[in-house]
Structure 1
Amino acid sequence: MPPKSDLAHVLQLDVLRLVENRPAHVRLAVAQTDDLGIRIEASAPGVFRLRCGPNQALSGEPPSGRAAARADLLLARHEAVGEFQTEALPGDEGWSLEQGDVRLEVRSQPFSLRLTRGEQVLLQSADQAVLACTTQENNPGWQVNWLLDDEDGLYGLGETGGDLDRRGEYLSSDDGRALPLIWSVRGWGLYVNTLSDVSHDLAHDDDTTYTQYIDGAVLDVYIFAGEPVEILNQYTALTGRAGQPTLWPMGVWVDQAHGQSLDQLHEVVSGLRKNEYAFDAVRLAAPACYGFQDDKPAFEWDAQRIPDARAMLDRFAALQVQVAAPSAPVVRTGTSLFEEWEDRGWLLCRDDGDVLVLEGDERSGGQPYALLDLTHKDAYRLWSERQYQLIEDGLGAPVCDATFAIPDDVTARGGESGAVLRAVYPALARQALFDAVAGHKTPQEGVMLSTDLFPAVQRFAWQLGPDVQNDWAGFEYSLRTALALGHAGVPVQMHTLGSADAPTEGMSAELYLRWLAACVFSGNFSFQAIPALLPQAFDTQTQALVRHWLEWRYRLVPYVLGIIEDAVRTGLPVQRSMAMCFPDDPMAQAWDTQYLFGPALLVAPVLQAGNEQRIYLPKGDAWWDLSTGRRYEGGTILTMQVGLETIPVFGREGHMLCLGPATQHTGEFNSARLLEEVWMFGMPEHSPVVMRNKIRVMQMQGSSYIKGLEGLKILPSEGLEVKRRGAEVRISRIR
């Protein structure tokens, strides 16, 4: 067990007996005690749910009241939708639970688990101390040990700016940057379904064992079998997927710098418009721009920063610019509203009854504050409704970081405390804001921005990236965090082109353009509104190249929105690592700063000074260079000279890339004509990923027949010809 546990109070679950056998679940009794049991469910095809704990908790009855609300924060689908066949293993050593070619073997005396697909062993428990729990009532917890293969790379578990393979690390979910899904290229995944603290010893102490330490009386683990993309699909179907953003957030953003006035920001924005740099939105800097009035529960704007909010929004709207502004679920101390809500019980309190008061920070402008208890349904509803009113008044999106250092001696109205409360609080804040932005639309559309990480964060499409340094290392760090978050199902990380809070001496024109080019081929990004990090800080040639890349960005918007629409259906992120997409190609996994940008494009950012770039094209497909139109076989290593006007991007054979018009902002998009051009990479085999997709590909007799390309310019690959027949396009090989 974890170091905090008393080993004298550890029960090893070794001897089991089968007490219930149903198509969707089995229940096992623990021989050592009458109080504990094990329930295994066929959650979905290739997915098993393993729960261990007090028999009453495993009855299968749905939770009620607050327990159900807490469960809904983690799971979008509670019921099992699969079935398995249960067969006794030879010699009555245990049971085999079979879902097609996927099998979970459960052995007794001693207890062990083995997950297989066909004849291949995907995952198995360690030889000793497979499953144990503490017997202390005041400190319940579980330990599970998994045996690792020498080649078992471990991916997921949240944010990292380092090696994407987390093997060798020790992580805790209570550190605020960890997420609960882990998977391996060998074809297995694990998700611990809890809001409590989970620690992961990823072969840190023992290089052959992955150990999970879980706080709480019930162990609840989902076991997945499949390739990484299958695991992400099943995981997000289980825990929830992102809502759809509207069109304007797909345009480029501009971030206000700390201490920068609205007039200064407006001057920056006007200069960008005047010089024809395409963008769509501004994000105002902390502290919170609006919040509750001191004497009544209505929002007001910070009069010192924003004397007239309506005039401010209109001023930016005149430039075709949307505004995102920071908010926080806080109440200033020493106000009549603080006293009123203290009496109502709407504020988080310590166990001694005193309101939790936090020292002033960036979010509160340095003023001490209390936290609204968002587990209280009336407080939650009020905060969300007030946000909705601002959205109706013209605010584009809220920005809210709600990860607070809540001490262990604080208990919320819903009974949450400690690590559970620290996980629940940002989840409730994010949900309340998303309800305000998108909850009144069908289907739900909109974004709210945050850096918070918590279980089920993948339900919200937009994640702000980390603060970075203005150097090559900062550029790479931003890229790696995006790929790492994608491993846990987070669909979009928004990159920043440098940082206004870091020294700018290292930001050369070369680095600026390389960083910008990679940002163009991402979910989205923002400029920093300080002179040293704006395009005008550089020479005229660099500025021309900035416009070139922004033109590319806006032409890619229909494709990027299509990828996000795909994420809503599949759970796959916009930027997809080599390990995720090519689990059977170890060489590809070693090139871990390359990524698939959606299904059609392979991107290899230039992460160091100089024009020479080495690129690996994964096995299994041919790849078409977007710059030259040349075709390369997969499994090839290339060394290329890459000028600042280009970035190594390759189209995947059988796919298409649909491009929209070059515009100055998304308001210039013609909803009746979102596309202008289609690029083909070999013979089309897959329908393209594009927003509001009505383009369909059908293959027959060696040709591809495509509907939905009316009026579009078509650029076929070399050796192919295009014939239009009314609304249908035929692509065939030149004879």
Structure 2
Amino acid sequence: MRLVVEPHAPGVFRIRCGRPDAVAADILPGARARAHAEVLLARPEAIGEAILEPLKGALKGWRLVQGDVSLDISVNPFKLHLHRLGKTALTLCESGVARSEELWSLGFDLKRTDKIFGLGETPGDLDRRGETIVSDAPDHRALPLAWSPNGWGVYVNTLGRVEHDLGAESAAQYMIAVEDETLDVFIFAGEPTEILNQYTQLTGRAGQPVLWSMGVWVEQHTSHNASQTAELIAEFRRLSLAVDGVLLLPPAAWTYQDSKLLPEWDAERFPSPKQLLAQFGKHATHLCMHTIPAALVESTIFAELEDRGWLLVGESGEAHVFAGVPATQGKPFGLLDLTHRDAMKTWSERHRHLAEEGVGATACDVQFDFPDHIVARGGESGAVLRSLYPALARRALFDAAAGHKVPPEGVVFSSDLFAGAQRLLWQSAPRVPNTWGGLQHTLRTALSIGASGIPVQMHALGNAAMPTADMTPELYLRWLGMAVFSANLAFQAHPDLLPTAFDEATRAHVQSWLQWRYRLIPYVLGAIEDSARTGLPVQRSMALSFPADAEAQRWDTQYMLGPALLVAPAMKPGKEIQVYLPQGDAWWDLNTGWRYEGGTTWTVSCALDALPVFGREGHMLCLGPTASHTGEFNSARILDEVWMFGMPVHNPVVMRNKIRVMQMQGSSYIKGLEGLRILPSEGLEVKRRGAEVRISRAR
């Protein structure tokens, strides 16, 4: 075995152990290994530098130094010590690194204060310490990055099964078991935001969504056909309820039909696709339709695809038959082998043509629990196939939607979680009860996957598949308020979950919230575009945003929306809502304009048309105009108003950012605000000079 330790990037060390040919940097892997590496790493080459020093004292070994971060490597016994800012951040535990047959194991000592975040979706405590998480277990909803506010992060670079024991067996140790021929681990040092930045640079970042996808969505009701859903959208327009996107439910809109090698429209449901698209297009709405890379067993094309070797096979070498799922109307099917280059290319190209025909977006869920005996053409099976398949399917659809756009722009709606999922938009919300607990559940999942590197979760306003009796007007408006201050939301077309199900006062509050949603689009889309540069999610947990404030981390159902806004949604009935304002900053109440010092707790009284939302001092909030759909936006003037939270220090987050803050002595110059209404905070005066605005403290 050979051990390779390298400074991979600033604050990032890569540790590999395996056969000499597998870890040698000058030996290119085979085609299969290259394909896997492309799924896992967007930047496999090392860009870091370090100073190499011998260890001092009795220990023999070396120290790799990168600025204020260093990694000590000692021998006899083998030890790793990660240091940051002069303190030990992470230490390899006494058992070190071990291998047994195909299983690697390593562990790290945990301090009493080490909280662990990331590693995928959870509806419970965002701190995962004490849990056991298995990467390919469907119910674990796992993602591969773990990090601590104490300044360290760990990513295991493999498609194989990884089991994370986060102190479940031994409270003082984080143990990792890896099924792979080679152990490949990245260790990060830095603030959580720095760790996410380096992790997403390493593994890939999200493309950008199209503008219309930032508007409100409506999800089709199970009892409605496409024409009835179009009538509902027309009703939204008559009631002046904003909407942009429509998510049609399964089954898939396109399948492999008899004797045709390309997926075709389901002729029974959509006899005239052009008429369907025009029906929604006249209401300025865009369709998102389900798809699945599958061929029905009952179709004559199934045998043709099997003969070509385009389907996943079982032990006998024959195509494996899967039990029916909603996307196939419950009918058994075979899955396209997306590791087969021709099958992958054909499926992706067909969806590119559909995008050109006017289909706005696609939805695809393929994270099936593949039995271990299923084998792909590339030899993948078991945990590797369970991790790889959803990544290939979703990437093919994103490439089809993005086409040749620069930067890549498109939406693929999915609930699948897998290594590399942070590269692709959008993540659908879990299906939760129509209760206060359901509201908390959907918020916690958004914050937990955000802490794992996923930038966007689109919230569903309720669940049409569960009883609706508990969805009171108060809960409905509180849920809507939280979703407005998020990446995005979708109404459910269930009669009890639409705005029309409630009284006139509630409907008026709904319209008010939707106006807020569309005014926030430039800011929220700016936060999504910012994730392509920083890796930070739209909804950011307190632990991610304020790692040094232990009190803030206790308030794990409030969050930062982008860099400028702190949101404290109501999690129970009543007007009184408690909010903690993190220390180190001052905060401006959007509802009253009052300024509060950080490190304080307040009880805020909020009616049903408001939530406690606070602007972070030194930042600005750029708002767009009110609209009933994004087609009404003037691309030449996407902004309408700017709110200032104290003296501007930071450049505002805003789509197509052309606004810049320049610090002057005693004041700030802001370029790019021509023609906008500017609301200065108390104690500031604004002096215009064309497209430049000078902000100075009032004398």
Aligned pairs for 1:480-629 (under 5 A) are 480-629=444-593
Aligned to 2:39: 73
In the TM superposition, what whole-angstrom CA distance separates every residue of 1:472-498 from its partner, at most 9, and x where no partner exists? 000110000000000111010000000
Alignment partner of 1:105 is 2:72: yes
State, as a whole percentage, how many aligned pairs show the same letter.
57
Aligned pairs for 1:32-431 (under 5 A) are 36-60=1-25, 61-89=27-55, 90-126=57-93, 128-134=94-100, 136=101, 140-176=102-138, 177-431=141-395
Is residue 352–residue 403 contact of structure 2 (8 Å, CA) maintained in 1?
no
- 1:62 & 1:618 partners in 2: Cα distance? 49
Which amino acid letter does the alignment assign opposite residue 118 of structure 2? Answer: G
Is residue 621–residue 644 contact of structure 2 (8 Å, CA) maintained in 1?
yes
Give the secondary-structure state (helix, strand or coil) at the position aligned to 1:43: strand
Alignment partner of 1:633 is 2:633: no
> Structure 2: which 5+ runs fail to align?
none
Which amino acid letter does the alignment assign opposite residue 43 of structure 1? Answer: H
Q: Deviating runs (4+, > 3 A) in structure 1?
A: none
- 1:240 & 1:445 partners in 2: Cα distance? 15
Give the secondary-structure state (helix, strand or coil) at the position aligned to 2:552: helix
540-549 vs 107-116, which moves further? 107-116
149-158 vs 251-260, which moves further? 251-260
Shift of 1:274: 0.6
> Structure 1: which 5+ runs fail to align?
1-35
Cα RMSD (Å): 0.9
- 1:178 & 1:259 partners in 2: Cα distance? 33
Shift of 1:192: 0.2
- 2:636 & 2:407 partners in 1: Cα distance? 20
- 2:552 & 2:59 partners in 1: Cα distance? 43
In the TM superposition, what whole-angstrom CA distance separates every residue of 1:549-594 from its partner, at most 9, and x where no partner exists? 0000000000011001100111000000000010000000000011
Aligned to 1:4: none
- 1:356 & 1:265 partners in 2: Cα distance? 36
- 1:615 & 1:335 partners in 2: Cα distance? 58
In the TM superposition, what whole-angstrom CA distance separates every residue of 1:294-345 from its partner, at most 9, and x where no partner exists? 2111332223322221111100000011000000000011322111111111
TM-score, normalised to structure 1's length? 0.94
Shift of 1:632: 0.2
Shift of 1:530: 1.2
- 1:306 & 1:446 partners in 2: Cα distance? 24
- 1:485 & 1:242 partners in 2: Cα distance? 14
TM-score, normalised to structure 2's length? 0.99
Is residue 294–residue 332 contact of structure 1 (8 Å, CA) maintained in 2?
no
Shift of 1:91: 2.9
Shift of 1:664: 0.3
Is residue 96–residue 103 contact of structure 1 (8 Å, CA) maintained in 2?
yes
- 1:66 & 1:621 partners in 2: Cα distance? 50
Which amino acid letter does the alignment assign opposite residue 163 of structure 1? Answer: D
258-267 vs 52-61, which moves further? 258-267
Is residue 129–residue 168 contact of structure 2 (8 Å, CA) maintained in 1?
yes
Aligned to 1:435: 399
- 1:544 & 1:713 partners in 2: Cα distance? 26
- 1:690 & 1:324 partners in 2: Cα distance? 26
Which amino acid letter does the alignment assign opposite residue 161 of structure 1? Answer: P
- 2:85 & 2:629 partners in 1: Cα distance? 52
Which amino acid letter does the alignment assign opposite residue 73 of structure 1? Answer: V
Shift of 1:64: 3.2
Aligned pairs for 1:668-679 (under 5 A) are 668-679=632-643
- 2:359 & 2:557 partners in 1: Cα distance? 36
Which amino acid letter does the alignment assign opposite residue 144 of structure 1? Answer: L
Which amino acid letter does the alignment assign opposite residue 281 of structure 1? Answer: G
Which amino acid letter does the alignment assign opposite residue 121 of structure 2? Answer: E
- 1:92 & 1:712 partners in 2: Cα distance? 64
Shift of 1:92: 4.7
Equivalent of residue 649 in structure 1, options 606, 613, 616: 613
Is residue 98–residue 104 contact of structure 2 (8 Å, CA) maintained in 1?
yes
Which amino acid letter does the alignment assign opposite residue 356 of structure 1? Answer: H
370-379 vs 254-263, which moves further? 254-263
Shift of 1:369: 0.2
